[in-house]
Each structure stands twice: as structure tokens, then as C-alpha cells.
Amino acid sequence: MVLAEQARASMTLPLPEIGTAPPLGKPRFVNMPSWMWINSGEWEPVSATASVGAGSVTVVATPERVVWETGDGQQVVCESAGTKFSPAVFREEGSPDCGHTYTSLPPGGAGAEVDLVAVWEWSVSWSTSAGEGGELEELSTSATEAVAVSEIHSVVTRTG
């Protein structure tokens, strides 16, 4: 088990690269769906091996989910990297697998920023060259981006 922990400690897991629609740097609007995703190209197992004498232990971290803290007291759990927004996959109701709709302005009012945090959770297993194996404590990586939340007001006027 010491060797498994040694291999686990040597792992370098990717940080989530946050993508959103509306894009980072542009406000999200109250009552309009926003999309969230991380780099899907990195959604794959990561492994590390430690050896001593004639034996070795391989540890594998497997992506499980991304837990998003949206900055408005809500949490969104996505079982995948999420779908990157493009006109080809646009849906009026929002992301097919990983999105959030802000329902009120942040305490600072229109245009105030909140922290959008992506916590990428990984399950971790180990196996030996002799065929033994088991589970280890989960690992996680995280990233944070500040996003503005605003609102759109419309006025209906009668013409003619």
C-alpha cells in the first residue's frame, strides 16, 4: 500500500480548462441558460507506476465528474466534460449535459462578478504486478474564473 500511495503522489492530473457560453469575459444574463465545459481532450485516465525490487504498483486516476460551484449558491454536477458550445449544437433550452441558469443578480447588482469554480473529481485505483488491487482516496483538481452576471430589460412600446 505504501508503494501505491507513492505512485499516487507522483501523478500529475490536468487542471480543468473552463469554457463557457457566453464566453469568459462576457456576462451571463439572468434567466438565460449558460453552458459550461472543460477540455474534453483531457477526459481520460492518467496512470503512474512505482517499483521496488521485482514488484510494481500501477495507480490509475479515472475522471468521474465535474462539480461546478456557480457563485450563486448553486452546484451543478456533470458526469462528463460537458458539451462545448457551437452553433451546430445550440439548443434554446441550454446545454444538453452541463449548464446553469442564473435566476437572480449577485449581491453587487447587475454586472457584478461571481466565482465560477470547476472541481474535477477523479476515482483512483491501484493494481500490482502480482494481480492484487483496490481503491484509493479520490483526487481532484480545480480552476476558478470570475464571471459577470447581469440582466436584460426590455420595454414594449405601442407603435402605430
Counting every residue, how long is the chain? 160
The domain in which residue 35 lies consists of 2-150
C-alpha to C-alpha distance for 116 and 145, rounded to whole angstroms? 5
pLDDT digits (tens, 9 = 90+) for 42-77: 999 999 999 888 789 999 999 999 999 999 999 999
C-alpha to C-alpha distance for 34 and 18, rounded to whole angstroms? 13
157 belongs to a structural domain: no
Residue 2: per-residue pLDDT: 84
Q: Are 148 and 85 in contact (CB under 8 A)?
A: no
134 belongs to a structural domain: yes
pLDDT digits (tens, 9 = 90+) for 64-114: 999 999 999 999 999 999 999 998 888 888 899 999 999 999 999 999 999
Number of independent structural domains in the chain: 1
Amino acid identity at 107: P
C-alpha to C-alpha distance for 134 and 151, rounded to whole angstroms? 50
